[in-house]
Amino acid sequence: MKRAVLDRKEWKENLSKQVSKMSQSLARATEIAIREVLAVKKDEHVLIITNPIKDVYKVSEALYDACVKAKALPTLIVQPEKLTFDGAEPAVINAIKSEPKVIISISAERLGKDREALAKPYTGLDGKPYTHIFDQLIYGLKKTRAFWSPTVTVDMFARTVPLDYTRLRENCAKVESSLKGAKTVHVQTDLGTNIEVGTKNRKPTKDDGDFRTPGKGGNLPTGEVFISPELGESNGVIVFDGSITLEKTLVIKKPIKVIVEKGHVTKIEGEKEAKKLQEYLHKAGERPYEMVKKGEMTADKAKEYSRNATNLGELGIGLNPKARIVGNVLEDEKVLGTVHFAIGSNYDQDALALIHSDGIVKNPTITIDEKTIMQKGRMLPQRVLVS
């Protein structure tokens, strides 16, 4: 009996040590994020947006503390959890409109849509339409810098954020350079992926954790290079076998086969996971018309958004050596040796939709024009220097 009590005491002590160790790891990771990723300065206003949900709230609190340590001026705002089609709370939109120097979104799922901007998009200095004040401030006006970590966990943040950012940025730059000016990217896998993605006149983007200047932003964990496919110029087959974002992240147990013709998904094959993706795309195509009835979108916009629910909106290459497949797309799409494709809205703002659904493909062979940079998930050393 005494031994049982002692075992319980030891268990509690071990648990306490584990919690303490994780708290220390999280504190270190958030300090790295504030210092090395965002380069937050003394007296800068930092807006942190989160939900009252264990992991994201804990990460947000740690980021707040790291901002205080950096002698910045942080504000933490909490709203209910938001899913794909939900709007952000008005107070959140207004807080972003105050134009803080730094914005951090740590959400359990999504930040939430800007319904005002969906009805009447903002315009950036580049003349492009922006359907969220967050995007307009970063990309359209280049007034703020940011990172966002939807669905992040304490373990993920603590494990994947501490990196050699100099090395990661060098590797991302090399992949970006390979994509610049490319006309096509060909992706193949042993499971059946065989697609040629048009990239003519498209500009690749690095998500390399360098968000130190206005107009820069991306995910944490970071580590990818992505590009918006040329409209109507992608054809072939994608077999998703990692995870995929729907209303929530779906771990793929049975591969989802997607047929792409002229830049749009035309057919989905598979089992339960495939059916869920099909239902999700159908919902994304119907929802704009429901918004018209509520006065939240014009009929012309609804037609555009509905059509683009099946658009191939992104091709991304994972480059984070600390990321691993965990069934969370935020981390999964950064895994070194993977590629991901998004269905829905693109980053070039010329194919807008209500969704941007990322799906992971493992162990691909990637050929950019005539140059193969990845062979069955292994980056070729003569193309990219990897850890």
| Residue matched to tokens 């300090």 | 31
Cα gap 127→117, rounded to integer Å: 15
CB-based contacts of 82, cutoff 8 Å, min separation 6: 51, 88, 107, 109, 110, 111, 112
**Domain check: are 236 and 209 in the same one?**
yes
The pair of three-digit structure tokens given for residue 187, joined into one six-digit string: 């992706």
Q: Quick: pLDDT tens for 169-201.
A: 999 999 999 999 999 999 999 999 999 999 999
Mean pLDDT across 195-211? 96
pLDDT score recorded for residue 380: 86
The mean predicted confidence, pLDDT, of the chain is 93
Domain with residue 10: its CATH number is 3.40.50
**Domain check: are 129 and 192 in the same one?**
no
Supply the angle between the helices 272-293 and 299-307 in degrees, to the nearest 10.
170
**Domain check: are 334 and 214 in the same one?**
yes
Residue 157 lies in a domain: no
Residue 146 has pLDDT above 70, yes or no: yes
Q: Quick: pLDDT tens for 73-110.
A: 999 999 999 998 899 999 999 999 999 999 999 999 99
**Domain check: are 167 and 99 in the same one?**
no
Identify the domain containing residue 317 by its residue range. 163-379
**Domain check: are 176 and 137 in the same one?**
no
**Domain check: are 89 and 202 in the same one?**
no
pLDDT score recorded for residue 197: 98
**Domain check: are 101 and 34 in the same one?**
yes
**Domain check: are 133 and 278 in the same one?**
no
Residue 12 has pLDDT above 60, yes or no: no
**Domain check: are 31 and 138 in the same one?**
yes
pLDDT score recorded for residue 23: 85
Residue 6 has pLDDT above 70, yes or no: no
The model's confidence at residue 383, banded by pLDDT at 50, 70 and 90, is very low
- The residue out of 119, 148, 177 marking a domain boundary is 148
Residue 386 lies in a domain: no
Are the CB atoms for 74 and 67 separated by under 8 Å?
A: yes
Residue 222 lies in a domain: yes
Helix, strand, coil tally for the chain in percent (to 5): 35, 30, 35
User: What is the distance between the terminal CA atoms of the chain, rounded to a whole angstrom?
Assistant: 52
Cα gap 315→336, rounded to integer Å: 14
**Domain check: are 54 and 200 in the same one?**
no
Residue 90 lies in a domain: yes
**Domain check: are 141 and 242 in the same one?**
no
Q: Quick: pLDDT tens for 258-293.
A: 999 999 999 999 999 999 999 999 999 999 999 999
| Residue matched to tokens 């584990």 | 18
